[in-house]
Amino acid sequence: MSDPGKLNTSSSELDLDRPNIEDYLPSGTSIHEPHGQLRLRDLLDISPTLTEAAGAIIDDSFTRCFKSNPPEPWNWNVYLFPLWCCGVVVRYGILFPVRVIVLAIGWIIFLSAYIPVHVLLKGHDKLRKKIERYLVELICSFFVASWTGVVKYHGPRPSMRPKQVFVSNHTSMIDFIVLEQMTPFAVIMQKHPGWVGLLQSTILDSLGCIWFNRSEAKDRETVAKKLRDHVQGSDNNPLLIFPEGTCVNNHYTVMFKKGAFELGCTVCPIAVKYNKIFVDAFWNSRKQSFTMHLLQLMTSWAVVCDVWYLEPQTLRPGETAIEFAERVRDIISVRAGLKMVPWDGYLKYSRPSPKHREQKQQSFAETILRRLEEQ
Amino acid sequence: MGNSSSMLTQYDIEEVQGHCNHAFSQQEIVSLYQRFCQLDRSSGGFISADEFLSVPEFAVNPLAQRLLRTVDGLNFKEFVAFLSAFSPRATLQQKIEFIFKLYDSDGKGSVSYKDILDVLRDLTGHFISEEQREQVLKQVLEEAGYRKDSSLVFADFVKILGNPGLKMEVEVPVD
């Protein structure tokens, strides 16, 4: 968790009356007022530490990042309710079956083209890859159509160049589908169980996607190596990385992992912002399986989102990878109107390291020792 | 109310409000209930220590373990009562009482030299040696007119912390 003084929360059109995140961040300054003779009161008065603890219990900036914010219900009176009921009938009775059919057609077309190409063109790699890329873009378009995705792309389309990676904020696995529709990215993803895992090991593998396993500690080095190898290769699909490492609710961004920023390449930021008007696209993996999440999207009116391709960034002289990551995070957050919080997304799965607590202990200890010496 | 439904009745709110001596407004209690349900992921009607520690801001607090002894497994009514010391409407007496209870780990109504040393150890970790801690504590105790073997009671805490008062307030966000 970096020094809060270095981060500035991006200005945002949303949630202006929410308590300021800075108020809930543990302050970097020492807990007690320094100077003057050390008295019993100074040791007994633990109120600042307690206030921080109580503040964290009541509201904390980390949990807020993973809170689902469904769209406001509007069916709350006599004439809106029947209207809403008609809507439900249309969505579940008409739209959903049509979408399932569309998706099924898409899969049939895809598989009947992909399998022959994959098998027959084994020797002609370049041609095979070209066709497979096109087919994957096609099936992604079918997916997007199956939730009536209204995606507006802004900015210049990414060009295929070596030594560049793309980074984006992460809200749901559909981010990948939305972006893949336009450009054949190779993505780095957590290996999932179930039908998603099956897709990962077959089709996505052919795109050059890289898998990791969060729970394996040594995994990080192997993955870092795979990343480096991939960006060096000239014929590989451009690499898309979600540096947050986990799905966040599209109102905040958590800290970017530096892995993507120390590959010695140009980093092209992509910002994705979903409009919650019909459905909340945040995949709350604690609450829903991906299948349920897809079904939820397929039974809503539309998924509306904006995608901005932003200006490519390179490491500035004297900038560390972490600073570079934070700078890019700031660019993405400002563009998509997201607030930045200084937490590591992986804290969803594990406890903070003791060094944060030790930082506070150290600062308090130093205050005491300093005042002792002053006496 | 103790079940996982996120609806509080007016009766429930008033009962909780009474239990915490009206430290929170009804709107604040509703917000606290939403927060309680958010933290109580297993929907057991209480927040376990594990669920508290999943809030990183809480987990990094040096006094987290000590607070967990009190707050672990509380139901919503007791949870609000626990937090009532942090309300702007709480009296100075209530705040000092909260601190006193945290120090008085065996609940006997007196805080010994060892109790204060324990809390000091939580706050400073291994950045001060045990001898230095003892030296500092002995020094300030003597300066305040106490001896190493004297125990402090609540009245002592009021005397020491009462002037010029404590700043120990948290605002409950209300939608």
SS3 (DSSP) at A306: strand
Chain A CB within 8 Å of residue B146 CB: yes
Which chain A residues have a beta carbon less than 8 Å from that of B157? 44
CB contact under 8 Å between B170 and A58, yes or no, is yes
Q: B145 lies in a domain?
A: no
pLDDT at B6: 60
Q: Given an 8 Å threshold on Cβ–Cβ distance, is A58 in contact with B83?
A: yes
For B31-37, the CB contacts below 8 A with 24+ separation are: B31/B172, B31/B173, B31/B174, B31/B175, B32/A58, B32/B76, B32/B79, B32/B80, B32/B83, B32/B172, B33/B6, B33/B8, B33/B76, B34/B6, B35/A57, B35/A58, B35/A59, B36/B76, B36/B79, B37/B4, B37/B6
Alpha carbon of A347: minimum distance to chain B alpha carbons (Å): 7
Any bridge partners for residue A308, and if so which? A154, A271
Lowest mean pLDDT among A1-15, A234-248, A276-290, B24-38: A1-15
- pTM value? 0.80
pLDDT grade for A18, boundaries at 50, 70 and 90: very low
Residue A195 pLDDT > 50: yes
Question: What local confidence, expressed as pLDDT, does residue B2 receive?
Answer: 41
Indicate whether B108 belongs to any domain: no
Residue A207 pLDDT more than 70?
yes
pLDDT bin (cut points 50, 70, 90) of residue A4 is very low
Q: Which of B53, B124, B150 to mutate to test the interface with A (most CBs of A within 10 A)?
A: B124
pLDDT of res. A221: 78
Tokens in use for A3?
């020094």
d(CA A97, CA A86): 16
Q: Would the CB atoms of A54 and B53 count as touching at under 8 Å?
A: no
Closest CB to B56 among A48, A53, A343: A343
Q: What is the pLDDT confidence band of residue A21, given thresholds at 50, 70 and 90?
A: very low
Q: Which of A39, A357, A364 is nearest residue B143 as measured by Cβ atoms? A: A39
What's the structural domain count of chain B? 1
A150-176 pLDDT, tens digit each: 999 999 888 878 888 999 999 998 999
Q: Which of A24, A57, A361 sits opposite B127 (nearest CB)?
A: A361
Task: Compute the average pLDDT of residues A232-253.
Answer: 87
Q: Which residues of A touch B64 (CB under 8 A)?
A: 53, 357
Chain B residue numbers with beta carbons less than 8 Å from the beta carbon of A366 are 127
10 Å Cβ neighbour count for A153? 17
| Other beta carbons less than 10 A from residue A146's beta carbon | 24
CB < 8 Å from B in window 338-357 of A: 343, 347, 351-352, 356-357
What is the Cα gyration radius of chain A?
Answer: 24
Q: Please report whether residue B96 resides in a domain.
A: no
Question: Which residues, listed in sequence order, are joined to residue A188 by a DSSP beta bridge?
Answer: A210
Which CATH number characterizes residue B51's domain?
Answer: 1.10.238.10
Mean pLDDT value across residues B132-149: 87
Kindly determine whether residue B35 and residue A59, on different chains, have CB atoms separated by under 8 Å. yes
Residue A67 contacts B where some CB pair is shorter than 8 Å: yes
Whether residue B141 lies inside any domain: the answer is no
Q: What is the pLDDT of residues A28-64, one digit of tens each?
A: 444 445 567 788 888 888 999 999 999 999 998 898 8
Check whether A302 has a pLDDT greater than 80. yes
> Chain B residues with CB inside 8 Å of A52's CB?
57, 61
Task: Please state whether the peptide bond connecting residue B88 to the residue before it is cis, i.e. omega within 30 degrees of 0.
Answer: no
The whole-angstrom separation of Cα B32 and Cα B173 is 9
Report how far residue A187's alpha carbon sits from residue B117's, in angstroms, rounded to the nearest whole number.
53
For residue A111, report the phi and psi dihedrals to the nearest 5 degrees: -65, -35
Q: Which residue would you say has higher pLDDT here, A331 or A16?
A: A331
State which residues form the domain around B71.
Answer: 7-90+167-175
User: Which is it for the CA torsion B154, B157, B162, B165, positive or negative?
Assistant: negative
Residue B136: C-alpha distances to residues A34, A369, B111, B133, B152 (Å):
16, 9, 17, 5, 17
Cβ-defined contacts of B20-23 (< 8 Å, 24+): B20/B80, B20/B81, B20/B83, B20/B84, B20/B87, B21/B84, B22/B89, B23/B80, B23/B83, B23/B84, B23/B85, B23/B87, B23/B89, B23/B90, B23/B94
Would you state the pLDDT for residue A375?
Answer: 67
- pLDDT score at A33: 54
- Give residue A8's pLDDT: 30
Average pLDDT of span A56-84: 87
Position B85 in a domain:
yes
Record: contact A40-B144, CB cut-off 8 A: yes
Is the Cβ of B103 closer than 8 Å to some Cβ of chain A? Answer: yes
Which residue among A37, A42, A62 sits closest to B57, beta carbon to beta carbon? A62
Residue with the larger pLDDT of the pair A260 and A335: A335
Distance CA A106, CA A118 (A): 18
pLDDT digits (tens, 9 = 90+) for B48-97: 999 999 999 999 999 999 999 988 889 999 999 999 999 999 999 999 99
Supply A335's token pair.
């563009």
Look at residue B122 and tell me if it is in a domain. Answer: no
First CA to last CA across chain A, in angstroms?
34
Binary contact (A57, B52; C-beta < 8 A)? yes
Confidence at A370, pLDDT banded by 50, 70, 90: confident
pLDDT for residue A20: 36
How far, in Å, CA of A66 to CA of A84, rounded? Answer: 28
List the single best residue of A22, A31, A50, A341 to mutate versus B (max B Cβ within 10 A): A50
**CA A51/CA B56 separation, integer angstroms:** 15
Whether residue B64 lies inside any domain: the answer is yes
Kindly state whether B116 is in contact with chain A, defined as any CB-CB distance less than 8 angstroms. Answer: yes
Q: In what order do the strands lie in the sheet with A164-168?
A: A149-154, A303-309, A266-275, A164-168, A239-241, A186-190, A210-212
Chain segment A337-353, per-residue pLDDT in tens: 999 998 888 888 888 88
Specify whether the CB–CB gap between A29 and A5 falls below 8 A: no
Of B102, B119, B170, the CB nearest to A51: B170
Tell me the C-alpha distance between A346 and A164, whole Å: 25
User: Which string of DSSP letters, residue by residue, matches A6-64?
Assistant: G--PPP-SS-TTSPPHHHHSPPSS-SS---S---HHHHH--HHHHHHHHHHHH--HHHH
pLDDT (mean) for B135-152: 86
CA B62 to CA A50: how far, in whole Å?
9
Kindly state whether A51 is in contact with chain B, defined as any CB-CB distance less than 8 angstroms: yes
| For range A259-273, the mean pLDDT | 90
Side-chain half-sphere CA neighbours of A331 within 13 A = 19
A367 touches chain B (CB under 8 A): no
Pairing verdict, β A186-190 and A239-241: parallel
What kind and span of H or E run contains A101? helix A96-120
Judge whether B37 lies within some domain.
yes
Say yes or no: B53 contacts chain A, CB-CB below 8 A. yes
